[in-house]
Amino acid sequence: MGKQNDRRSESAARVPVALTIAGSDSSAGAGIQADLKTFSALGVYGLTAVTCIVAEIPGKVSRIEAVSARIVREQIEVLAKNFKIAAIKTGLLCSADIISAVAKTIRGIDKLSVSRIPLVIDPVIVATSGDPLLEPVALKAYEKELFPLAGLITPNLDEAEQLLGTKIKDRQSMDRAGKELERKLGTAILLKGGHLAGDYAVDLLFADGKVTEFSAPFVHGVTTHGTGCTYSAAITAGLARGLSLEEAIKRAKKLVTKSIARHFRWTSRFGKNLDALRHSI
């Protein structure tokens, strides 16, 4: 029995560990709940640092309450001291104070690490429902303090428009925007084009002056949230498992598409459909 337990412990020790720094979604379709489901589906053990508590359902954000920057910092620090973290992602960070605390803490972790831990930033600014999730002053903190630490930033078109102050209406303007973001922010950019009309959801990776396309059939008739969280978490899981950036994105794109197509659906008390991603491979 002892040998069997030893084998189980050795097996568990080989499971990569990833950290998500994000908000808690009460409906469990986005935020840290989506991240943990994604990590688990891809064979990665997930750690969490909660930045805020969000009262929401698919399509509606009711209320957001941020936790203190201090407790965010202490969550990350205690985890980093005790776990060998292979990759980190950030989601909803709520405030400039929290963004600054996260940046400072990650810089401290990197100083103690043999090599820099891959950091994927999902710059959550606006909810799928259109509700604003980030105060404007926080964008400055992102650009000045956190973005320089990223290995990949994953804006959707709305977020890219906020970061650049320009409209993105078609594939050509998407290409221009991605190149400008890579130049401006100095890191790889995965620009998600799912909001463009068409039969395919096309995302573009801008890295080292090269553009790589990732495309999948657009899944119509599903109104859900958490796709951006799931996508960035899946990329983070791939990096934690040692995949290249392109391979991690390729696998993540497949998981997100499948999770949308195989979605859950319930009917609310008011007769409204409630759709949620089914996180599976």
Whether 52 is catalytic is: no
Find, among 216, 221, 192, the residue nearest to 206 by Cα.
Answer: 192
User: DSSP secondary-structure letter at 109?
Assistant: H
Separation CA 124–CA 122 (nearest Å): 6
Whether 242 is catalytic is: no
The answer for residues whose C-beta is within 8 angstroms of residue 257's C-beta and 6 or more apart is 201, 216, 217, 219
Whether 229 is catalytic is: yes
Whether 227 is catalytic is: yes
Other C-beta atoms within 10 Å of 7: how many? 10
What does the block give as tokens for 156?
Answer: 């959707």
Whether 84 is catalytic is: no
Find, among 131, 124, 153, 139, the residue nearest to 226 by Cα.
Answer: 124
Q: Which of 20, 228, 238, 253 is catalytic?
A: 228
What does the block give as tokens for 208?
Answer: 């080292």
Whether 226 is catalytic is: yes
Q: Which of 90, 227, 230, 236 is catalytic?
A: 227
Q: Which of 23, 52, 187, 229 is catalytic?
A: 229
Find, among 61, 119, 62, the residue nearest to 88 by Cα.
Answer: 119
Q: Which of 105, 151, 154, 192 is catalytic?
A: 192
Q: Which of 105, 154, 187, 224 is catalytic?
A: 224
Q: Which of 23, 46, 91, 226 is catalytic?
A: 226
Under 8 Å between Cβ of 211 and 204: yes
- The residues annotated with a catalytic role in the active site are 192, 224, 226-229
